[in-house]
Amino acid sequence: MNLQPAFERAAKELEAANTIGIVCHVGPDGDAIGSALGLAVAAEAAGKSVVVSFGEPFVIPQQFSFLPLDLLVKPGDFPEGLDVVVSCDAAVADRLGSLAPKAASADTLIVIDHHASNVGFGDVEIIDPQAAATAQLVAMLLRHVDWAITKEVATCLYTGLVTDTGRFQYSNTKSEVLHLAADLLATGVQPELIGQRVYEEVPFGYLSVAAAVMNRATLDPSLGLISSILYQSDLEAAGLSYEEADGLIDLIRVAKEAGIACLLREVDAGTKGSLRSRGAVDVGAIASLLGGGGHHNAAGFMIPKPPDDALGDVADAVRRLS
């Protein structure tokens, strides 16, 4: 895959732009928000007028509070008709939520993503499913446009790398990823701070929610599937938001008997599901059967049914691909 022309065109568009908007997918994870903010900090330092946001629900994940969140604006304050808008880590325009029309209204829309399901929806497309994280592609773009990767920029991009490689333990951790991580660390990034804030700080109520989810976990040996459900009542009893309960799937996926882990979360519109694989099964394909998408080892979906009913749909999808 030759992305050189795309990088060169994107660099020219960014250099020529006066106003730049940067968006990422709704419910941003570390790679989405890290990529967006890293690019924004670099653009602002280069003298550009920059605005960053993501679609509703506009809830900023607290585990990323060490990032330059002051650059974020509410979706309603994101302007139309900017010179350039850059979409980070969104596989389809719909994942931008309410910001999709505003992104499309820019003179140039640049799409940067690493999801295999992304068929492109921009004027300039930097899409590489082989990249470990969108942050990796943003770092490459910054080198093409010759914008400085300062400690603040590097902290954002390192956050993207850490979260999308599972702390450098997933199969997408290639040598070039570790070389980039080393370059970012050389700017003064504090990996211990990022690790602690992202993975080792939770509200006390999280413990009771985690206990509830783990206690109702079930294993289907015939499918190699471990699953559990997070109900709204769990969160209400603990006084937590959904954003404060991220990472629960990592608690159930460690069971060695399961090649696939599924966490179903009860939401107003039905059920949001997260899938993880140990590598033998493509959960991205399973998620696609359920109307979602993602990567080989990590994916998600939305089903307009209660979690207990949605679990049957998940099992059926796993069987179809067995």
Backbone angles phi, psi at 114, to 5 degrees: -130, 15
Same fold, 4-199 and 205-320: no
Q: What is the pLDDT of residues 47-81, one digit of tens each?
A: 999 999 999 989 888 899 999 999 999 999 999 99
**What is the per-residue pLDDT across 271-303, written as a single tens digit (0 to 9) for each?**
999 999 998 999 999 999 998 888 888 889 999
Q: What is the pTM of this model?
A: 0.91
Measured CA to CA, the distance from residue 61 to residue 204 in angstroms comes to: 17
Sequence-separated (6 or more) residues with CB below 8 Å from residue 256: none
**What pLDDT is recorded for position 60?**
86
pLDDT the model gives residue 243: 80
DSSP 174-207: -HHHHHHHHHHHTTT--HHHHHHHHHS---THHH
Domain ranges of the chain: 4-199, 205-320
The SS3 assignment for 254 reads coil
305 in Cβ contact with 270 (< 8 Å): yes
Which residues in the chain show pLDDT less than 50?
none
pLDDT score, position 304 = 95
Topology given in CATH for the domain delimited by 205-320: Diaminopimelate Epimerase; Chain A, domain 1 (3.10.310)
- Picking from 89, 56, 103, the residue whose alpha carbon sits closest to that of residue 75 is 56
**Per-residue pLDDT, 68:** 97
pLDDT at 61: 83
Residue 86: its pLDDT value, please?
98
Note whether 74 and 58 are within 8 A (CB): yes
Does CATH number 3.90.180.10 belong to domain 4-199? no
